[in-house]
């Protein structure tokens, strides 16, 4: 009667070859250097590429900056003119809805900001430099403001801002 020879499963190649014979140094079937796909640097590189892609995709465009700047300016103008002492008392009495009047000009303010802003697109982020004001309106000199704002990941960060010499 025929009795098969039993060997451990790990020692037999699926096509019948003995793994010990296949991995001999002269057989040409030994494992070479580890696969480059198992490099510890690959995960970090992929993560860095994904992060850079996400930043580039979420880099705010000029229309988003105009909306951001208009919102900031509406707040500043409202505080300075409507709440402060910048307007003469008679004019303040004539404009009881000063805040609403300023807020209604948000789109126009955004358009002015867009015209006076220079954008430097660095791919992952944008730098917006604005110079506003300095004009003479009737007998009043409009203050000149300069700002530098960084737009990154859908957000804006005011880096430098304030009144500058006319």
**Alpha-carbon span 66 to 70, nearest angstrom:** 6
Q: pTM for the full model?
A: 0.64
Instruction: Work out whether strand 144-152 and strand 117-121 pair parallel, antiparallel, or are unpaired.
Output: unpaired
Q: Is residue 135 part of a domain?
A: yes
Q: How many domains does the chain have?
A: 1
Chain mean pLDDT for the chain: 76
Q: Quick one: average pLDDT of 9-36?
A: 53
In 3-state terms, what secondary structure has residue 38?
A: helix
Which residues pair with residue 151 across a beta bridge? 126, 156
Q: Is residue 44 part of a domain?
A: no
In this predicted structure, the answer to whether residue 103 has a pLDDT above a threshold of 80 is yes
Q: Is residue 33 part of a domain?
A: no
**pLDDT value for 127:** 95
Q: How far is CA 3 from CA 6, 7, 87, in A?
A: 9, 13, 109
Q: Is residue 27 part of a domain?
A: no
**pLDDT value for 135:** 73
**pLDDT value for 58:** 77
Q: Which helix (H) or strand (E) holds 71?
A: helix 62-77
| Residue ranges making up the domain that contains 135 | 60-164
- DSSP secondary structure, 95-115, as one string: -TTHHHHHHTTHHHHHHHHHH
Q: Is residue 107 part of a domain?
A: yes
Report percent pLDDT > 90 for the chain.
24
Asked whether the beta carbons of 122 and 151 are under 8 A apart, the reply is no
Report the chain's C-alpha Rg in angstroms. Answer: 34
**Alpha-carbon span 135 to 145, nearest angstrom:** 11
Summarize pLDDT for 118-163 with one digit per residue, the tens: 999 988 889 999 998 777 766 667 778 899 999 988 889 999 988 7
Q: Which has the minimum average pLDDT: 1-5, 99-103, 145-149, 161-165?
A: 1-5
Q: Is residue 97 part of a domain?
A: yes
């Amino acid at each position: 009667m025929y009795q098969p020879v039993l060997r451990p499963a790990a020692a037999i190649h699926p096509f019948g070859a003995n793994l010990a014979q296949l991995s001999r140094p002269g057989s040409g079937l030994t494992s070479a250097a580890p696969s480059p796909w198992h490099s510890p640097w690959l995960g970090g590189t992929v993560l860095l590429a994904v992060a850079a892609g996400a930043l580039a995709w979420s880099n705010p465009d000029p229309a988003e900056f105009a909306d951001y700047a208009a919102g900031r300016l509406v707040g500043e103008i409202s505080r300075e003119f409507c709440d402060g002492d910048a307007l003469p008392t008679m004019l303040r009495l004539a404009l009881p809805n000063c805040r609403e009047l300023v807020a209604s000009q948000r789109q126009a303010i955004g358009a002015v900001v867009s015209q006076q802003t220079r954008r430097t697109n660095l791919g992952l982020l944008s730098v917006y430099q604005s110079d506003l004001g300095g004009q003479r309106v009737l007998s009043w000199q409009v203050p000149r403001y300069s700002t530098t704002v960084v737009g990154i990941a859908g957000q804006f960060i005011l880096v430098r801002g304030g009144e500058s010499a006319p």
